[in-house]
Structure 1
Amino acid sequence: MLNSVATTGLLVAAMRAEESARADRLFDDPFAAQLAGGAGRAALAAYRSASPLSLPIIEVRTRYYDEALARAWDAGIRQFVVLAAGMDARAYRLSWPADARVFEVDQPDVLAAKAERLGGARSRAARFAVGADLGDDWPAALLAADFDRSQRTAWLVEGLLQYLDASVVAALFARVEQLSAPGSRLLYDVVGRGLLEAPALAPTLRMMRELGAPWVYATDEPGGLIGAHGWDAVVTDPSVLAAEWGRWPFPALPPDAPGVPRGYLVEASKR
């Protein structure tokens, strides 16, 4: 039985399966349906019921990170870490370089459930499953799994920060900084304060609370989470990408428009 936050991974997998079935899909995830299972599809049905206006934030985020990871390996990075990996299937579906190593860090029961759902599927990169809770000493578990802190690393922290207390977010980024060689990259997303307070999002936020995975963290200074540690951050509004890709039902607003509920996608590089 997965905990509430881990169950959100099933919801995301169901969204990825739904997107992969579209003719105009932004990506193709052939593993998403089996990873989502019945629980993921039920969670998605509840999500759609709570949010009649469905915006493709998860779908846009998925493609954005697919492309950002490709940029990292095009730059010569060969070590990748997915924190709170959940039901992410990138190790199995992306066209990794032959010498890439992908470390997936999550709670042992989540990784076990994922392995069971994937059956005999083979990853397309050397994959290391690291069973550790992010509230515990996960860096020690990562190092014990043959992670090389002297190598440049691309880190992926997807769909996680909104569930964490501010102190936990700060500790997470401090640990990533300590483990990152110069030239490393960090990919993460965060919601803005206005998004947590937007009336249109209230039904979705209520559903997440009822699921046991409330959104508690937000910031409108996303680059500041890592910039103080000597990283250069590029911040992207997912609605702008969605509009570029023909999937946004509203005009994309300029980044300085006041009072707009926003989410942020960040790609940071360590100097």
Structure 2
Amino acid sequence: MNPVAITGLLVAAIRAEESKRADRLFEDSFAHTLAGDEGRAALARYRKADGSSIPIIEVRTRWYDEALARARASGVRQYVILSAGMDARAYRLQWAAGTRVFELDQAEVIEAKARALGDKDPACTRVAIGMNLAEDWPRRLEACGFDRNARTAWVVEGLLQYLERAAVEGLFARIDSLSAAGSVALYDVVGQSLLDAPPLAATLRMMRELGAPWIFGCDEPAALLRDWVADVTDVAVVGNAWKRWPFPPAPADARGAPRGYLVEAGK
């Protein structure tokens, strides 16, 4: 499996670890199986590099779960998870009747996930599409039953930092073109301020050595989807609210403070 795909195993290993905690932010009973030995080995390297163990993945997982619950409550029944990796939300979340969840990722990742999950049934209609996001995935998505006239919730989790800026802009242009009024886009962004922060250096070095360097950062995440209404949250604010962040968030008006962002944007 290629380096970027291995990050999906790493995320699954972190979710499995979190699910064992008494004060867990979520429970993912599929994560241990999906992570496998390769994911647990990647997690060991990650923990060694990131001595502070800042719970970014744990916090953002809970945030996405809650944002998806809001979309579900508003009547959205079509969801697209881009670069889905070993995400198990189609299996572990409660979905309304008639919900379709499209998962896109590289074919080898889709196949590995199918092998790991075996005969387990999703809690919705799940459509898995093996395809590189650099290809014409919108055409394939529609061929698989996606309805561009229906409200859609888009999930872009843990992806943008691996892309060049042009690819990020192209990705959001495609999302915009496929989205009916009332659609929602959920995404997280590493601030350029955070990429430049000395405390992140060890983690960035580990990701380069893994072959999946973080190359995109942005401190104006709302601008990535123009003409959408975006609610931007500092991940440290959410982490502190849930009593799982190791330090207080930077003041909102502190210019240049290192931040990560969680964005819920509506069209």
The alignment's TM-score, normalised by the length of structure 1, stands at 0.97
Name the SS for the 1:112 alignment partner.
Answer: helix
User: Hey, what does 1:163 align to over in structure 2?
Assistant: 162
User: Hey, what does 1:108 align to over in structure 2?
Assistant: 107
| Paired AA for residue 103 in structure 1 | F
User: Hey, what does 1:55 align to over in structure 2?
Assistant: 54
| 1:144-155 correspondence runs (5 A) | 144-155=143-154
Name the SS for the 2:230 alignment partner.
Answer: strand
| 1:211-230 correspondence runs (5 A) | 211-226=210-225, 228=226, 230=227
| Paired AA for residue 187 in structure 2 | Y
User: Hey, what does 1:19 align to over in structure 2?
Assistant: 18
User: Hey, what does 1:179 align to over in structure 2?
Assistant: 178
- 1-structure distance, mates of 2:171, 2:246: 35
User: Hey, what does 2:254 align to over in structure 1?
Assistant: 257
**Aligned-residue CA RMSD in angstroms?**
0.7
How far has the Cα of 1:31 moved from its partner? 0.3
User: Hey, what does 2:244 align to over in structure 1?
Assistant: 247
| 1:31-42 correspondence runs (5 A) | 31-42=30-41
> Which stretch shows the higher mean deviation, 243-252 or 58-67?
243-252
- 2-structure distance, mates of 1:255, 1:143: 41
Instruction: State which of 224, 228, 233 in structure 2 corresponds to 1:231.
Output: 228
How far has the Cα of 1:134 moved from its partner? 0.2
Instruction: Give the length in aligned residue pairs.
Output: 267
How far has the Cα of 1:258 moved from its partner? 2.4
- 2-structure distance, mates of 1:225, 1:16: 28
4+ runs deviating over 4 angstroms: none
| Paired AA for residue 44 in structure 2 | A
- 2-structure distance, mates of 1:266, 1:220: 12
How far has the Cα of 1:252 moved from its partner? 2.2
Name the SS for the 1:215 alignment partner.
Answer: coil
User: Hey, what does 2:266 align to over in structure 1?
Assistant: 269
| Paired AA for residue 257 in structure 1 | A
User: Hey, what does 1:88 align to over in structure 2?
Assistant: 87
Name the SS for the 1:223 alignment partner.
Answer: helix
| Paired AA for residue 249 in structure 2 | A
- 1-structure distance, mates of 2:262, 2:218: 12
User: Hey, what does 2:124 align to over in structure 1?
Assistant: 125
- 2-structure distance, mates of 1:165, 1:251: 31
Structure 1's unaligned 5+ residue stretches are none
- 1-structure distance, mates of 2:177, 2:193: 31
User: Hey, what does 1:143 align to over in structure 2?
Assistant: 142
How far has the Cα of 1:63 moved from its partner? 0.4
How far has the Cα of 1:3 moved from its partner? 1.0
| Paired AA for residue 252 in structure 2 | P
Q: Quick check: 1:11–1:40 contact (8 Å CA) kept in 2?
A: yes
How far has the Cα of 1:187 moved from its partner? 0.3
| Paired AA for residue 120 in structure 2 | A
Q: Quick check: 1:131–1:141 contact (8 Å CA) kept in 2?
A: no
> Which stretch shows the higher mean deviation, 192-201 or 77-86?
192-201
Structure 2's unaligned 5+ residue stretches are none
How far has the Cα of 1:257 moved from its partner? 1.4
User: Hey, what does 1:188 align to over in structure 2?
Assistant: 187
- 1-structure distance, mates of 2:220, 2:32: 35
Name the SS for the 2:45 alignment partner.
Answer: helix
User: Hey, what does 1:74 align to over in structure 2?
Assistant: 73
How far has the Cα of 1:224 moved from its partner? 0.2
The alignment's TM-score, normalised by the length of structure 2, stands at 0.99
- 2-structure distance, mates of 1:107, 1:249: 35
How far has the Cα of 1:119 moved from its partner? 1.2
